[in-house]
Structure 1
Amino acid sequence: MARGCVLACLAGVALPVGAMDLKEAWDLLQYQGPIYQSAVHEKEAGQEYRTLGKAPLLPQINATAYDNEVNGTQEQGNIDNDLDYGSYGTALRLRQTVFDKRKMAEYRQGDHRTEYSNAVFDSKRQEAAISLAGRYFNVLLARESIELAKAKLKAFEEQYDLAARSQQLGEGTLTDVDDAIARRDLAQAELIEAEDNLLVARRLLQEYLGVLPESLSSLHEDFHTPPLQPDNLQDWLVRAKVDNPAIRASRYSVSVAEEEAKKARAGHWPTLDFVAGYTYGKSETISTIDQKNRYGSVGLELNIPIYSGGAVSAQSRQAVANRDKAEEDLNASREEVLSGTTREFHGVQSGAARIRALETAVRSSQKSIESSRKGFQAGTRTNVDILNAEEQYYTARRDLFEAKLRYLVSRLRLAASVGSLGDDDIALANGYLTAEREVRP
């Protein structure tokens, strides 16, 4: 059913969608997500830089035509002559660059700009995948928070009923009742907040996908955390330096700036063009009748710059400064990526350990509830002890769910830091999802 709904969306059927998993959400995002499509069109525009850079080095051919009617008078002494004649003609011009350092720099610059746009798209594509996963998981977390808040509210209501009956029988105190009421009211407030969070999370996912899913696949109960491959940070840092798309984009940005500096310095160099043309014209005047002109020309045109008011030198200095800025931006981007890679590497490792610890904490908290209830019946524990144990249990369950989602996002971010995040990584994260859960309020 889920895949059928997504296919229906791809075919243009009315929305909202039914069930959806992360892989289907990723496919749909690539098909119609407005932010993703914006990046696609940006890349398409960037592909034209290569053609634009090469165009000035190719032959430039222009054709012109004119058709004029002249009407006037000519005075010669005491004689006035009417001027009434036609003049028309055509001209064809060809210009081919033979030597022009500026245009050669523009040609190389066009290649670098196209590669820059490719790297930027790769970066945005991976950012889109991470952002989608984050928004998808936020919906799951909000849904889980609602379920836990309802369960906690129910448990506290039951504990309130127990405290109230104990007080009526003279076995409990008013303090126990007040504590139970306070915990119940706080649980009610948490439920309201969780429901609000779900509305916001669903809207953010809709904003990204263009559709509003009614249910999403949620997490498996069993959650494996295999070791990273490779399992040492240095290998990941080496890969990030080479393949991270943000670093690659910064490198191409430096190359573009370097060619801009060469282009500016080329203003001091002469240019040489091959020029050819053909002209045909016909006109009539009072002194010429049916005059026709036909001629062609072939030659070389040399242009030697002598002085431009200091503009070329100023442009050169400006371009060099911009190149230096691009190099510093590259250094900053490299450091930022390496810091992010380090953070996500340790995030995956510590995330796995945290999940194991929280799984133990959930089991321990559940046992604590049972012990507290038995102790309450035996008179060794108070109602507050039971409330505290239940609070701890539901907090641990929520923290465990959130830790699992953060672990998956950290793995995606780590893959993105080395430029390898793709469909297989999304499919791997999707493998942690199982039964569908309704996410409507």
Structure 2
Amino acid sequence: MAFWLVTPARAENLWEAYSFARARDPLVTQARAQLEAERARWTQATAALLPRAGLEGGVNRTAQHSSGFGPESTTYYTGSSASVTLRQPLLNGQRWANLDSARTGVRAAEAGLLAAEQDLILRVAQAYFGILKAAADERVARGEVARLEKALAQAQAFREVGAGEIIAVKEAQARLDLARAALVSAESERHIAQEALYRLTRQPIASIHDLGPLTPEGPSPARLEPWLDSASRHQPLLRQAREHWTAARQRVTASRRGYWPSVDLSGGYYYSKGGYIASLQNQQWLVGLNVSMPLYDRAIVGQLRQAQAEADQVRARLDDLDDQIHQNTTTAFRRLQDSVARWQAVRVGREVGTRSTIDLLNAGQDLTRAQRDHNLALYEHVTARLQLKAAAGVLDEADVRSINGLLRAPGAAQTR
């Protein structure tokens, strides 16, 4: 973890962390490159339906040797030629189907880029609040160690004056050992969480802004059906899969059209000069229709079978993803509802406080557990908001700014 030590430290908020990650995330970069590739494929498919013009020319030096009829002779002559050709497809079913498939590929890539961007928002938020939770748990662990050190010292003092028992000293020592081990684990978790965010941003983060005053908010609307409907219409992964299914069917259509005739309009101009008769010049203008149609081609049969099998495969993936998106949206909706309930339960528990008077050790243990439950409920509630929007396909940068508005710089007043 040397990069946390040698690089100047600065506090960051969620939006800054997301901005750093957005500029370099490899998955988003891949999605952008895929979109550019699909746009290039669409350009090529469009070009296949446009006129094609060509220019060709050359100069030839020929040596002609004659024998067997009269005296042997070798004649040298120079010839030159030039031509301009133009070809315009008039009827080509496969190329039109390929154009439709390429246009669908662009829409699929656009949905893929949106999915990658939404996934990045989630990954950054989870890493960011993972650090906050880990740091909060580490503070709780340090407080637990300090409390148990005092409890052990008190138990030893009572034992020395004859007012305590050895079992109390041993119990306090055992719990202190466990607390110190828990502290080491908490420190490790914080470092792991910091590493997760660093891998996304490649920026040193010594301290980050924590949540300020927060009011728990359940799903809005509070019914599951609107969220499922939104996921069906807007979820980018689902939209991408549907476009892939459409493109697969278009490839089947293109394969079937391999049996169709193709008609091209062609024209050109040809000019030549020289040759065996040096003064000879030749000019030709050509205009015509070219028709071609396969009569027997086993490759077309194989291409059609392959396209149909691939379409069946894409359809099966689409059905599976549709079920998965439905389940993910339902789960995210329930988790956000549950996070509000757990937040309220933890808050009530903190307000009431522990009333256990069995002994100091158990009372302190209950307090530590309550503090950890509070940290878990706090940060999971915020990420649950984002997870539901991501499942419904409506997560965007405005949500990052909204959550970022809940943060407070280190040292600012924190009232939750």
Q: TM-score, normalised by structure 2?
A: 0.92
Q: Is the 8 A contact 1:34 1:210 kept in 2?
A: no
1:71 Cα deviation after fit: 4.5
* Equivalent residue number for residue 313 of structure 2: 325
* Equivalent residue number for residue 242 of structure 1: 233
Q: Structure 1 residue 417 and structure 2 residue 391: aligned?
A: yes
2:36 to 18, 35, 44: 44
* Equivalent residue number for residue 190 of structure 1: 182
- Over 3 Å counting, the alpha-carbon distance change for 1:95 and 1:111 in structure 2 is same
Give 5+ residue unaligned stretches, structure 2.
Answer: 1-5, 412-416
- Over 3 Å counting, the alpha-carbon distance change for 1:305 and 1:172 in structure 2 is same
Q: Structure 1 residue 276 and structure 2 residue 251: aligned?
A: no
Q: Is the 8 A contact 2:55 2:82 kept in 1?
A: yes
Deviations 1:177-206 (A, max 9, x none): 111112112221122222222222222211
2:281 to 286, 292, 300: 292
- The one-letter code sitting in structure 2 at the alignment partner of 1:390 is G
Alpha-carbon separation, structure 2, partners of 1:203 and 1:70 = 75
1:41 Cα deviation after fit: 2.9
1:254 Cα deviation after fit: 0.8
Greater displacement, 30-39 / 91-100 = 30-39
- Over 3 Å counting, the alpha-carbon distance change for 1:143 and 1:78 in structure 2 is farther
Alpha-carbon separation, structure 1, partners of 2:43 and 2:9 = 42
Alpha-carbon separation, structure 1, partners of 2:374 and 2:103 = 49
3-state DSSP of counterpart to 1:299: strand
3-state DSSP of counterpart to 2:295: coil
Deviations 1:78-100 (A, max 9, x none): 74333533333222221111011
Deviating 4+ runs (over 4 angstroms) = 14-17
Greater displacement, 34-43 / 121-130 = 34-43
Alpha-carbon separation, structure 2, partners of 1:72 and 1:278 = 28
Greater displacement, 162-171 / 88-97 = 88-97
Superposed, 1:15-414 pairs within 5 Å as 18-71=10-63, 73-77=65-69, 79-220=71-212, 222-285=213-276, 288-308=277-297, 310-364=298-352, 366-368=353-355, 372=357, 381=358, 385-414=359-388
Q: TM-score, normalised by structure 1?
A: 0.87
RMSD: 2.2
Deviations 1:321-378 (A, max 9, x none): 22222222211111100100000001000110011112233345x434xx53xxxxxx
Q: Is the 8 A contact 1:17 1:211 kept in 2?
A: no
Alpha-carbon separation, structure 2, partners of 1:396 and 1:339 = 31
Alpha-carbon separation, structure 2, partners of 1:15 and 1:46 = 40
Alpha-carbon separation, structure 2, partners of 1:88 and 1:429 = 75
3-state DSSP of counterpart to 2:78: strand
- Over 3 Å counting, the alpha-carbon distance change for 1:408 and 1:83 in structure 2 is farther
- Over 3 Å counting, the alpha-carbon distance change for 1:83 and 1:212 in structure 2 is farther
3-state DSSP of counterpart to 2:354: helix
Q: Is the 8 A contact 1:67 1:86 kept in 2?
A: yes
3-state DSSP of counterpart to 2:310: helix
Greater displacement, 388-397 / 102-111 = 388-397
1:51 Cα deviation after fit: 1.9
- The one-letter code sitting in structure 1 at the alignment partner of 2:345 is A
Give 5+ residue unaligned stretches, structure 1.
Answer: 1-13, 373-380
Aligned identity (percent) is 26
Alpha-carbon separation, structure 2, partners of 1:268 and 1:415 = 48
The alignment covers a number of residue pairs equal to 407
3-state DSSP of counterpart to 1:240: helix
- The one-letter code sitting in structure 1 at the alignment partner of 2:267 is A
1:17 Cα deviation after fit: 5.9
